[in-house]
Amino acid sequence: MQAVEFRDGRLILLDQRELPHVERYLEIESAAAACDAIRDMVVRGAPAIGLAAAFAMVLAAREAQSNAEPEGMLRARAEMIAGARPTAVNLRREVDAVLAVLKGPKEEWPEKALSYAEAMRRRQNQEDELMAKNALGLFRPGMRVLTHCNTGALATGGLGTAFAAIVEAHRTLGLTEVLADETRPRLQGARLTAFELGRAGVPHRVIVDGAAAHFMGSGMVDLVIVGADRIGSDGRVANKIGTYGLAVLARHHGIPFAVVAPRSSCDPLWPDAREVEIEQRDPREVLEFQGQRVANAGSDAYNPAFDVTPGELVAAIVREDGLFRPPYAF
């Protein structure tokens, strides 16, 4: 099951909105359609979004070839793709990286973009393996682990970040159980993480987001481990909404809170030289469930997709180049 592929000139995306009940793939043939898919969370997870963006640039390069001003159109398409979801650093970084290799005759642009994207996929697989190995220092036999959102192969196009670390720890050390937050409002934990944990043979249970404090206070959590959409120079972490609350709870209960993410998710300009835009999503995601209104007709909602966890609450950050402890200086 591949979250992101490129075949026969098309970007192929596993529609993660339909999982775990339906395995459906969308064939994307234009840069605009790729943007819609990223924005609508057909594909999600910072590394997977970056990979999808790199392949979307193949489509953009192809479209720009036939334009009277190919370079201008290419840059316009690139900006459109990079702006599809603003918080994850991987998206713009990979778009900019593809732009940087598109030199020379425009006829060569699609092949150059494709070559970069395929190399990126191979690199990502290697990075995921290294992160899983490096994270073993966080675990001990029999641990109970809590995780949030989805950080598996669906989120990276490789093996996963925090999820891959969990699977490797269970394989080598044996975990008692993984508690997967349901992750409101789109339920990535209940729909995707539980699905992947089941396929990997890892014992697990799904909990509602609001129950995390109860289980920590009951001694049923030994480690909280999550991924990241952006990591600042001081170790601050932008990740799925609810992550900050878990870090505060973990600190109160004396439980380590760890982050697993590749170097490509690190942003050395944040916070000193850059403000990070927190994506605000459609309030209907909160006000409705499976298309049915659950809130009062006169009510509105806030729906930020991410929050920011201060670096001082993060006990460890794992990347493909090692396991880091505070103080952080990325």
Q: What CATH architecture does domain 133-324 belong to?
A: 3-Layer(aba) Sandwich (3.40)
Check if the beta carbon of residue 176 is closer than 8 Å to that of residue 143.
Answer: yes
Check if the beta carbon of residue 46 is closer than 8 Å to that of residue 127.
Answer: no
Token pair listed for 58? 């193949």
- 229 labelled catalytic: yes
For CATH 1.20.120.420, list the domain ranges present in the chain: 4-129
CB hemisphere CA count around 85 (13 angstroms):
33
For CATH 3.40.50.10470, list the domain ranges present in the chain: 133-324
Q: Among 229, 234, 267, 307, which one carries the catalytic annotation?
A: 229
Using alpha carbons, list the distances in angstroms from residue 39 to 61, 87, 175. 20, 12, 35
Q: Can you give the pLDDT of all 330 residues of the chain as single tens digits?
A: 789 999 999 999 999 999 999 999 999 999 999 999 999 999 998 889 999 999 999 999 999 988 888 888 999 999 999 989 887 788 888 999 999 999 888 999 999 999 999 999 999 999 999 999 999 999 999 999 999 999 999 999 889 999 999 999 999 999 999 999 999 999 999 999 999 999 999 999 999 999 999 999 999 999 999 999 999 999 999 999 999 999 999 999 999 999 999 999 999 999 998 889 899 999 999 999 888 999 999 999 999 999 999 999 999 999 999 999 999 999
Token pair listed for 245? 């609350």
**Helical H runs in 83-152?**
89-101, 109-134
Q: What CATH architecture does domain 4-129 belong to?
A: Up-down Bundle (1.20)
Cis amide prior to 20 (ω within 30 degrees): yes
